[in-house]
Amino acid sequence: MKISETQRQIVRVTINADVAFDGFVKSFQQRLGQFDQAAVAALIGQPREAAAALKGMEGDQGLMIFFTLDQGRALNMIGKSQKAIRFILGNPLVAIQMTQHDVRAGQYVPLTVIAYEDGENRLHIEYDQPSSILGVCENAAVDEIARDLDRKLLLVVEHAIEDAS
């Protein structure tokens, strides 16, 4: 067995917005599509139909939510009151574009975004920039798609903030 380690620099994007947490979350969820695993599973072996179904699930910038984790609810279990939601989002069609060039890209997609409210009721949105996390693949085709995801993810967040204002 051989084990190797590589260190990479990750770019963390933090957006502080003067909008209500609940308003942002509602807008973000409305802007993004919703992944329907059962619908896609029913189309296994039918690539054209599955791709069409996935296209129909896309929201703003072609992205969709796979699921959300209410981190704030978990914190409430230990008596801490804080609003925090983690979104797992992306697009399977985009993931396929990347993994066909380098299957390791599948370790970094779908993407993760966390929105949380601090002790002074200020909204913060954070995520690791896709191009920085996918850069580990060292593949030009993956890098190009990841840079496009950088742009798309930022636009969705900006649009949701505008909607919530």
Per-residue confidence in pLDDT tens, the chain, 165 aa:
999 988 889 999 999 999 999 999 999 999 999 999 988 888 888 889 989 999 999 999 999 999 999 999 988 888 888 999 999 999 999 999 999 999 999 999 999 999 999 988 899 999 999 999 999 999 999 999 999 999 999 999 999 999 998
Residues 112 and 68: their CA atoms lie apart, in Å, by 10
Residue 3's alpha-carbon distances to 103, 104, 107, 138, in angstroms, are: 19, 16, 18, 19
Residues 6+ apart with CB under 8 A from 8: 132, 135, 136
Residue 2 lies inside a defined structural domain of this protein: no
CATH code at 134? Answer: 3.30.310.70
Residue 114 lies inside a defined structural domain of this protein: yes
Residue 6 lies inside a defined structural domain of this protein: no
Q: What pLDDT is stored for residue 46 in this prediction?
A: 87
Residue 87 lies inside a defined structural domain of this protein: yes
Residue 3 lies inside a defined structural domain of this protein: no
Residue 51 lies inside a defined structural domain of this protein: yes
Residue 137 lies inside a defined structural domain of this protein: yes
- Total domain count for the chain? 1
Q: What pLDDT is stored for residue 18 in this prediction?
A: 94
- Domain containing 73 equals 12-164
Residues 8 and 133: their CA atoms lie apart, in Å, by 8
Q: What are phi and psi of 127, to 5 degrees?
A: -160, 160
Q: What pLDDT is stored for residue 40 in this prediction?
A: 84
Residues 8 and 107: their CA atoms lie apart, in Å, by 15
Phi-psi region of 108 (alpha: psi -120 to 50; beta: other; left: phi over 0): alpha
Residue 129 lies inside a defined structural domain of this protein: yes
Q: What pLDDT is stored for residue 75 in this prediction?
A: 86
Residues 58 and 47: their CA atoms lie apart, in Å, by 17
CB 95 within 8 A of CB 109: yes
Q: What are phi and psi of 24, to 5 degrees?
A: -65, -50
